[in-house]
Amino acid sequence: MMEYIDNPALQALGWPKAGTLQQLRWQTLLTQYPLAYPGRVIAQHRDCYQVATATQFSMQAQAPSAWRQPHYRAQKRATTGDWVLLEGTQIVSLLPRYTALCRAAAGEHYQQQVIAANIDTVFILCGLDGDFNLRRIERYLLLLSQSGITPVIVLTKADQCEKATALAQTVSAELGVAAHAVNTLDSRSVSVLEPWLQPGMSVALVGSSGAGKSSLCNTLLGEVRMKTARVRQRDARGRHTTTHRALWLLPTGACLIDTPGMRELKPTGDEALENGGFADIEALAQRCRFTDCTHHNEPGCAVRAALESGELSVDHLHHYLKLQQEVTTARSRYTAQLKGSPGRNIRNRKNSARRF
Ligand SMILES: Nc1nc2c(ncn2[C@@H]2O[C@H](COP(=O)(O)OP(=O)(O)OP(=O)(O)O)[C@@H](O)[C@H]2O)c(=O)[nH]1
Ligand SMILES: [Mg+2]
Ligand SMILES: [Zn+2]
């Protein structure tokens, strides 16, 4: 097992450095499976995985039979970016994630979908064409709020927008997050993203269909590996060209996960609005006369006062109130589900979403 602790070939795939807390946790599991070796999921298919190991960039691996049971929780199955232990081509265990980008899955029962695991940074892509939507960016930031993952806003199609740089500055100031305007088809332009693409770092690309995720992926790779397609002229909508997630090794030494454009971004209930682009409103709320102020029509409401003075935008506040409601609803759905299935507790689950 010791050979995996400080292994440069694994570190090139994002394996944590020796001595880090997450490695110490993983070592315990490694000793439980003395015959197993680690690998990172680079793609997930219907009934098998593509895994990268210290000796091979892409090999096919089978999921444990338990994962194929219909009622097995989706978030306990490996996803792109996950580290697994293998014996031969059989996956025997999933190593605990140090970060995860999750959303609530569509459907009647509460389920979490893990979009990418063990990533340091998420690039939130938004086109400076008809795709531009500050509210959608806020929603992504909310999903990332408790994940320990660094968000970076990447405004694409800068070559088609005269005010691209100024807009990136405004977005960054309003949301309190780094933002860059780029032309994803130009390698010089995307070089501003290099600080997040250092060796061993893992980055996932998210954003609507047509935002330019696969275009950015190809430019960073220096060759066309992902298919791209033109957006609809009328409304700049994409055509859902990418249909599955894939992890690539970049020439810079970073790992990059391209994802399909997402139509729905529902919170899981684990989010915290103050970390998700709404720090301004949460800070104002501290100054409201009533601690449980709903910011609707209470006297002494600092949020309404900021709205009236023009310090706060109406849309930003409305979206805050809407998302707050969604997070509360998701949390109560999750709690209701817990009552139906004893033996799990919220605190464990919350901690597992954080970096350890
Ligand atoms: N001019 C210009 N076109 C871009 C830029 N980024 C993407 N495009 C174009 O936008 C279209 C959609 O790009 P894709 O990379 O396929 O978008 P995607 O985000 O991967 O979309 P899905 O896979 O459907 O989720 C393609 O025609 C790209 O050439 C950019 O920065 N500038
Ligand atoms: Mg794509
Ligand atoms: Zn208030």
Please tell me the distance between residue 150's alpha carbon and the centre of ligand 1 in angstroms: 23
260 Cβ inside 6 Å of ligand 1: yes
In the prediction, which pLDDT does 353 show? 34
Q: Which ligand is nearest to the CA of 263?
A: 1
Residue of 272, 257, 249 whose CA lies nearest to 123: 257
Q: Which residue, by CA, sits nearest to atom 3 of ligand 1? A: 157
pLDDT of residue 351: 37
Q: What is d(CA 23, CA 41) in angstroms, rounded to the nearest whole number?
A: 17
Amino acid at 116: A
Residue 309, amino acid: S
219 lines ligand 1 (CB under 6 A): no
pTM to 2 decimals?
Answer: 0.90
Output the CA 228–ligand 1 centroid distance in Å. Answer: 6
CA distances from 220 to 140, 254, 346 (A): 23, 10, 39
- Indicate if ligand 1 lies below 6 Å from the C-beta of 215: yes
Atom of ligand 1 nearest to the CA of 215: 15
CB-CB neighbours of 296 under 10 Å: 9
- Provide the residue-wise pLDDT of the chain in tens; the chain has 356 residues: 567 878 999 999 999 887 888 888 888 888 899 899 999 999 998 879 999 999 999 999 999 999 988 888 888 999 999 999 999 999 999 999 999 999 988 776 778 899 999 999 999 999 999 889 999 999 999 999 999 999 999 999 999 999 999 999 999 998 889 999 999 999 999 999 999 999 999 999 999 999 999 999 999 999 998 899 999 888 888 989 988 899 999 999 999 999 999 888 899 999 988 888 898 899 999 999 999 999 999 999 999 999 999 999 999 999 999 999 999 999 988 888 777 654 444 444 443 333 32
Q: Which of 215, 218, 248, 259 to mutate to test the pocket of ligand 1 (most atoms within 8 A of CB)?
A: 215
CA–CA separation, 259 vs 41, rounded Å? 14
3-state secondary structure of 59: strand
| Contact residues for 199 (Cβ-Cβ < 8 A; gap 6+) | 11, 12, 252, 253, 254
Residues 277 and 266: their CA atoms lie apart, in Å, by 16
- Contact by Cβ (8 Å): 247, 255: yes
Question: Using the 8-state DSSP alphabet, how is residue 173 labeled?
Answer: H
Residue for token pair 């694409």: 156
Question: Counting every residue, how long is the chain?
Answer: 356
**β 83-87/37-44 pair status:** antiparallel
Number of Cα atoms under 13 Å in the Cβ half of residue 110: 18
